[in-house]
């Protein structure tokens, strides 16, 4: 099997599995008795290590149940903490941010979208020069891998007192992230994107302004995210993150070979991934082919990739990301996202390149029927 869908999720690292198993018996870290203190010591260690890896203070690390939850708290929580009702966002955010922004718009917020160029990068940031309740920009796009100008966005928003949320779910563990140097108010990450367990998110949240909670409860995690913390997953996340940051991989070289190989072998291919971009992302459009057909034809050969367009309830839709970049529906419907990760080899790239010309030809023939 050739797995090229690491941006969807990447296999858990053995070190993270070991840490998870070691601490699976941990009890409630909020309890005062000895077992509680023991669990809390493991949690405190995980918090400290994650903070160290991401340039944050331990108190700024908030464990959540997913990257989606961390994003919801960041965006809605900062909005709720503000007196203003203006929101600035990019139109290429992941649904975990996009849907929150749209929902704020539906309940009266004044939403302004930043323009995005054909290369997938946010362009004119002048909307950030007017104060807002919250501005939100993803570090790197999950479909194309395009790295966004988050540094400049934060500088401009901060100059007028706007708090900024950064969805760094695709970036953490893949490119260096330093929360204090960045200057964001909140930042979301997700353990399963860097070899930790699925169902564990991290929200880095400055002391002030702190986001208001989106769910109410027992007040754990500074009251920002109530609910008993999963200590074993926190420990596994810390181990996975440290390992991800320390490793040197061939990911970028393999990805470049993959893009070059596809360009040479398939006529009319459009490569949407434009630098600066994440090292593992390769986003292709094969106009005239349908992504569903491409995925299935690759799947029968044991090659796993994903559609570069949004797929909800089995129905392929035009990607809002490609639409914002100015691509046509014909181009976008044949979009494939191939994401390289630490388990891939040169043989995997070769297998993909051997398969792709015939797969595209057959998908195009099917599309023409
Ligand atoms: N944000 C981005 C950019 C993502 O790629 C994803 C996952 O695909 C998420 C948020 C959601 O993360 P999770 O799967 O942990 O809820």
* Residue 188 · residue 72 · CB < 8 Å: no
pLDDT at 170: 98
pLDDT at 313: 56
| Residues involved in catalysis | 311
pLDDT reading at 87 higher than 60: yes
pLDDT at 249: 86
Percent of the chain with pLDDT over 90: 95
Per the prediction, the chain carries an average pLDDT of 97
- Tell me which residue has its CA closest to atom 13 in ligand 1: 67
Task: With cut-offs at 50, 70 and 90, classify the pLDDT of residue 29.
Answer: very high
pLDDT reading at 315 higher than 80: no
The neighbour count for residue 207, using CB atoms within 10 Å, is 9
Distance between CA atoms of residues 295 and 284, nearest Å: 12
Task: With cut-offs at 50, 70 and 90, classify the pLDDT of residue 289.
Answer: very high
User: Is the distance from the beta carbon of residue 170 to the nearest atom of ligand 1 less than 6 Å?
Assistant: yes
Q: Within its chain, how far is the Cα of 164 from the centroid? A: 16
Calculate the CA dihedral of residues 114, 118, 119, 122 and round it to 10 degrees: 0
User: Is the distance from the beta carbon of residue 167 to the nearest atom of ligand 1 less than 6 Å?
Assistant: yes
The neighbour count for residue 359, using CB atoms within 10 Å, is 24
Could you tell me which residue, 367 or 271, shows the higher pLDDT? 271
Calculate the CA dihedral of residues 320, 321, 324, 330 and round it to 10 degrees: -70
pLDDT reading at 369 higher than 70: no
Cα→Cα distances 303→19, 211, 297, 351, 365, Å:
30, 42, 9, 8, 20
User: DSSP H helical segments within the chain, as ranges?
Assistant: 14-23, 34-54, 67-80, 95-106, 150-159, 179-182, 231-246, 251-265, 291-299, 320-324, 329-332, 346-368
Q: At what angle do helices 346-368 and 291-299 cross, to 10 degrees?
A: 130
Q: Using the CB atoms, write b or e for 119-154: b if 16+ within 10 Å.
A: ebbbeebebbeeebbbbbbbbbbbbbbbbbbbeebb
Q: How far does the centroid of ligand 1 lie from the alpha carbon of residue 123, in Å? A: 23
CB pairs under 8 A, 24+ apart, for 109-115? 109/79, 109/85, 109/133, 110/85, 110/86, 111/86, 111/87, 112/86, 112/87, 112/88, 113/88, 113/89, 114/88, 114/89, 114/90
Segment 157-161 shows an average pLDDT of 98
pLDDT tens readout for residues 211-233: 999 999 999 999 999 999 999 99
pLDDT reading at 208 higher than 90: yes
User: Is the distance from the beta carbon of residue 138 to the nearest atom of ligand 1 less than 6 Å?
Assistant: yes
pLDDT tens readout for residues 72-86: 999 999 999 999 999
Q: How far does the centroid of ligand 1 lie from the alpha carbon of residue 357, in Å? A: 31
Task: With cut-offs at 50, 70 and 90, classify the pLDDT of residue 317.
Answer: confident
pLDDT tens readout for residues 258-277: 999 999 999 999 999 999 99
User: Is the distance from the beta carbon of residue 185 to the nearest atom of ligand 1 less than 6 Å?
Assistant: no
pLDDT reading at 326 higher than 60: yes
191: tokens are 């353990």
User: Is the distance from the beta carbon of residue 72 to the nearest atom of ligand 1 less than 6 Å?
Assistant: no
pLDDT tens readout for residues 105-146: 999 999 999 999 999 999 999 999 999 999 999 999 999 999
pLDDT reading at 198 higher than 60: yes
**Region of poorest pLDDT, from 151-155, 184-188, 362-366:** 362-366
313: tokens are 């309830």
312: helix, strand or coil: strand
Atom of ligand 1 lying closest to residue 200 CA: 15
* Residue 262 · residue 284 · CB < 8 Å: yes
298: tokens are 């690759």
End-to-end CA distance of the chain, in Å? Answer: 30
pLDDT reading at 257 higher than 90: yes
């Amino acid at each position: 099997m050739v797995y090229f869908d690491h941006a969807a999720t990447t296999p858990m690292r053995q070190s993270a599995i070991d840490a998870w198993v070691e601490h699976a018996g941990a009890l409630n870290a909020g309890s005062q008795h000895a077992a509680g203190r023991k669990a809390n010591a493991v949690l405190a260690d995980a918090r400290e290590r994650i903070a160290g890896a991401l340039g944050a203070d331990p108190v700024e690390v908030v464990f959540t149940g997913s990257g989606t939850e961390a994003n919801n708290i960041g965006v809605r929580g900062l909005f709720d903490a503000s007196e203003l009702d203006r929101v600035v966002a990019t139109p290429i955010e992941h649904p975990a941010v996009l849907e929150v922004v749209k929902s704020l718009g539906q309940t009266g917020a004044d939403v302004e979208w930043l323009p995005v160029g054909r290369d997938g990068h946010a362009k004119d940031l002048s909307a950030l020069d007017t104060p807002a309740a919250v501005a939100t920009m993803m570090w790197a796009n999950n479909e194309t891998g395009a790295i966004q100008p988050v540094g400049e966005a934060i500088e401009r928003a901060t100059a007028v007192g706007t708090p900024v949320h950064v969805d760094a779910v695709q970036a953490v563990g893949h490119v260096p992230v330093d929360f204090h140097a960045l200057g964001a108010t909140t930042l979301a990450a997700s353990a399963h994107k860097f070899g930790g367990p699925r169902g564990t998110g991290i929200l880095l949240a400055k002391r002030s302004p702190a986001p208001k909670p989106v769910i109410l409860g027992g007040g754990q995690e500074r009251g920002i995210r109530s609910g008993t913390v999963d200590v074993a997953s926190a420990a596994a996340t810390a181990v996975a993150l440290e390992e991800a940051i320390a490793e040197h991989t061939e990911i970028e070289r393999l990805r470049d070979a993959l893009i070059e190989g596809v360009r040479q072998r398939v006529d009319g291919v459009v490569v949407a991934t434009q630098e600066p971009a994440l090292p593992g992302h390769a986003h292709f459009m094969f106009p005239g082919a349908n992504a569903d057909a491409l995925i299935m034809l690759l799947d029968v050969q044991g090659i796993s990739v994903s559609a570069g367009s949004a797929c909800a309830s089995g129905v392929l839709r035009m990607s809002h990301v490609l639409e914002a970049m100015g691509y046509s529906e014909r181009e976008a419907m044949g979009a494939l996202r191939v994401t390289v990760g630490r388990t891939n080899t040169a043989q995997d790239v070769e297998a993909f390149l051997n398969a792709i010309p015939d797969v595209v030809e057959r998908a195009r023939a099917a599309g023409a029927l």
